Chain A
Amino acid sequence: MTSAPEPPSPVTSITGPTRVGGSGADAFDPEHLLSMRGIAKNFGAVQALRNVDIDIPVGEVTALIGDNGAGKSTLIKAISGIWAPSAGQIFWKGKEVHIHTPRTATDLGIATVYQDLALCDNLDIVQNMYLGMEETRFGLLDEIKMELATLKTLSDLSVTTVKSVRQLVGSLSGGQRQAVAVARAVMRESEMVILDEPTAALGVSQTAQVLELIRTLAAKGIAVIVISHNLTDVFSVADRIAVMHLGTMVSHGPIANYDTASAVELITTGESSRVPSTLSPAQ
């Protein structure tokens, strides 16, 4: 798609372990479940994304951070098939893919849990977990099979606070709802789970539950992308950080290379006097 990749901007070139250049499949590292190269997205004259490169490794939590309007959601939507990028390449397990519909993303094994969770309050946990992919027996719903599988998935994820999986989702707390939405994604055998602001509306203990859940996902070998505004959460849960600023990926690397101050600096100004010296292992 990008026959003539744009030259990388100065900022991207000095940051991140990403092999910058966006020149195609040879840049692929088998550790990376998903790699994006030179992704751009235009809405009319507005450039929402410019030449974004990112690699998402398996079994790790990547925190995608940035101010409002930095392009985090736009990038996520390109991965989850809400819209196709205007330019750039996406590699899934080393093969170039074109994710044009949410269905394509789901089929690849990418599950996105949006902030609104998309749960039906009037259905119970089992019914929500299986919505759209019900198990049937002789054409009729197989409630027992679905309930057993739900119990197993929740216990695999160490979700222990729900009293009964036959509880209506509307009666659950915010953290429990988040857990159901995540479990739903996991049960679909997703290899990558994207969480959009999973802790935004939660209290302290609920947040702790969700962060715990995120670590459990990563421990199961799932690649996790978390969008968050909360740097405390980010530093407590993430293995890697990717910072976006005005539609570009300004920094990208293991969390050890950052601290709260440098992250804030990157989020607000797009550059940091301190980060470049501590990283760029690719060079």
Chain B
Amino acid sequence: MSTPHTEVESLATPEDEVSTNLVAQLKRVWQGDSGLLPILFGLAALVIFFEVRSSVFLSPENITNLFVQSTIFVLLGMAEIWLLLLGDIDLSLGYATGLGGAVAVILVSSNYRWPWYLALPLALVVTTACSALSAFIIIRFRLPSFIVTLAMFLGLEGVLLYVINAQGTGGSVSVQDNVLYNLVNGNLTPFATWTFVIIVAALLSVMMLRADGARRRSGLDGRPLWITVSKIVMLGVAGLLLILVFNANRSSFAHVVGMPFAIPIDLFVLAAGTFILTKTKAGRYIYAIGGNTEAARRAGVNVNRYRLLAFMFSGFTTGIAGLLYVSRLGGISTGIEGGTYVLYAVAAAVIGGASLYGGRGKMIHAVLGGLVIGTIANGMSLLNMNAATQYIATAFVLLAAVIVDSLARRGNTSAG
């Protein structure tokens, strides 16, 4: 019964020694879980490329338009991230978002004349229920989400066609309600834009400083202050740029200024999703299930409950996307390309840095990925490139993102 008294300190793994190496540290930042750097660099490269090729690209008008254009990708990407985190996928989001939008448009139309404050929430209930139904079937019959949501994809497309055609308005219904119309097309006043941006930036700064302070008071090594300060400075600069962009007149024949309502809506969804994922048990369990379902189960996590919950969050986000979709297009038609949208949603999440293998990703990834897709579409049409080129370019970006994801995954697990 000899006690193995080995010098534990000397048993540090080779990996520990390498970490002092600057190159390895940079590599870790690049590959790391929170690594937003690859996507930020990619986005910057795209912006520079398009600005060099087209002088209109960075005009306030086009930037505002780009943000609004990207909203659908951003929101659907955020909806999809809930499921990608679980290691699941929902192929029906494209038509679910269409159905949500259709419900809202139809209920406020002259056929039903519902007030917006009932129609819009009901649309969200419908999309949440669709996702809950998928989740129920997946969990109850232990089926892969891919197949169940593929069936849902076909089913919802049918339902959507039926609902629109039943209106007897020739395959499309237009938005006949100001609130719904203004979700995307309305703007904050310039003063409200200032106020909104300043409040958001101040709130984020205070939160970061307080989190750092709390760690330091507890004797834990916090982030160095300069990192937080530089983050706050960048936040301020970005906010200021956005204000300047949004508050510049962007119409040659009228006075159009202010932040489009779509931006605060995106930010609200981003904040709510991030809050749930990082601050609550539900978020923690969703990551755990995606990382190792069996481990989560053995730790006492009710796996089925949290899978259902994630699907419902996803459905709710899909509903919001649907409302903004119909608002932007001014209506809903049977020609909606739900299949393309869902693929863009997955692409947005993955391009942003979420993993298809589950357990890795953040809400902000969908926002950045959605902006990349929006930027490509916007920039290429400015350059008069045709749809064929756009698809091919997006394909390369997506492929690059998946390869980065796969390499990062290998980088994370190769140690030991």
The answer to whether A170 and B412 touch across the interface, beta carbons within 8 angstroms, is: yes
Interface of chain A residues 177 through 204 with chain B (CB within 8 A): 177
Q: Please, how many angstroms separate the alpha-carbon atoms of A147 and B211 in the complex?
A: 14
Size of interface on B: residues with Cβ below 8 Å to A: 44
Report the minimum CB–CB distance from A123 to chain B (whole Å): 6
Residues of chain B contacted by A74 (CB below 8 angstroms): none
- A215 in complex: contacting residue of B3, B11, B296, CB < 8 Å: B3
Task: Judge whether B415 is part of the interface by a CB distance below 8 angstroms.
Answer: yes
Contacts of B359 in A (CB 8 A): 120-122
B231 lies within 8 A of chain A by Cβ: no
Let me know if B8 and A209 touch, CB within 8 A: yes
A208 touches B6 (CB 8 A): yes
Q: How far is the CB of B406 from chain A (nearest CB, A)?
A: 14
Within 8 Å by CB of B287, from A120, A144, A175, lies A120
Which A202-245 residues sit within 8 Å CB-CB of chain B?
205-206, 208-209, 211-212, 215, 235-239
* B2 with A147: CB separation less than 8 A: no
Q: Which of B11, B12, B279 gathers most chain A CB within 10 Å?
A: B11
Quick check: B296 and A161 within 8 Å, CB to CB?
no
Question: Which residues 39-56 of A have a CB within 8 angstroms of B?
Answer: none
Which residues from A are CB-within-8-Å of B288? 120, 123, 127, 131
Residues in chain A near residue B19, CB distance under 8 A: 163
Query: Could you say which residues of chain B place their CB within 8 Å of the CB of A211?
Result: 4
Residue of A nearest to B13 (CB): A173
Whether A236 and B11, one on each chain, are in contact in the complex, defined by CB atoms closer than 8 angstroms, is no
- Give 1 or 0 for each of B274-316: 1 = CB within 8 Å of chain A CB: 0000111100100110111011101111000000000000000
Q: Mark A130-149, 1 if CB is under 8 A from B, else 0.
A: 01111010011100100110
A123 to B260, CA, bound (A): 37
* A176 sits at the interface (CB 8 A): yes
Please, which residues of chain A bring their CB within 8 A of the CB of B294?
116, 118
Chain B 351-392 interface 0/1 with A at a Cβ cutoff of 8 Å (1 = within): 000000011100000000000000000000000000000000
**A255 lies within 8 A of chain B by Cβ:** yes
Give the distance in Å from the alpha carbon of A212 to the alpha carbon of B288 in the complex.
Answer: 29
Known contacts A121-B413, A139-B280, A212-B3; A161 and B12 CB within 8 A of each other? yes
Q: Counting CB contacts under 8 A, is A79 at the interface?
A: no
Residues on B with beta carbons closer than 8 Å to the beta carbon of A172: 415-416
Q: Inside 8 A of A148's CB, which chain B residues have their CB?
A: 218-220
Which chain A residues border B8 with CB–CB below 8 Å?
158-161, 209, 212
Q: Is the CB of B23 closer than 8 A to any CB of chain A?
A: no
CB distance B412 to A121 under 8 Å?
yes
- Distance in Å from the Cβ of A174 to the closest Cβ of chain B? 5
A160 to B: closest C-beta gap in Å: 5
Q: Does A21 touch B at the CB level, under 8 Å?
A: no
| Docked complex Cα distance between A124 and B291 (Å) | 11
Are the C-beta atoms of B12 and A134 separated by less than 8 Å?
no
* Given contact pairs A158-B8, A175-B11, A215-B4, A120 touches B360 in the complex (Cβ within 8 A): no
Q: Select one of B278, B281, B291 contacting A134, CB under 8 A.
A: B281
Query: Closest CB of chain B to A5's CB: distance in Å?
Result: 33
User: For B360, what are the chain A residues with a Cβ–Cβ distance below 8 Å?
Assistant: 122
Considering the complex, give the chain A residue whose CB is closest to the CB of B359: A122
Residues of chain B lying within 8 A (CB to CB) of residue A174: 416
A161 and B13 contacting across the interface, CB-CB below 8 Å: yes
Point out the residue from B1, B287, B292 that lies within 8 Å of A119, measured CB to CB. Answer: B292
Contact A144 B412 (CB under 8 A): no
Quick check: is A102 within 8 A (CB to CB) of the other chain?
yes
> 9 A-B Cβ contacts within 8 A?
A120-B296, A122-B33, A136-B281, A141-B279, A144-B214, A144-B220, A147-B220, A161-B16, A209-B6
Measuring CB to CB, which residues of chain A are less than 8 angstroms from any residue of chain B?
A: 102-103, 116, 118-123, 127, 131-134, 136, 139-141, 144, 147-148, 151, 158-161, 163, 168, 170-177, 205-206, 208-209, 211-212, 215, 235-239, 255-256
Starting from the known contacts A132-B301, A236-B2, A256-B1, 7 additional A-B residue pairs (CB-CB under 8 Å) come to A119-B292, A119-B295, A121-B291, A121-B359, A123-B287, A132-B300, A159-B8
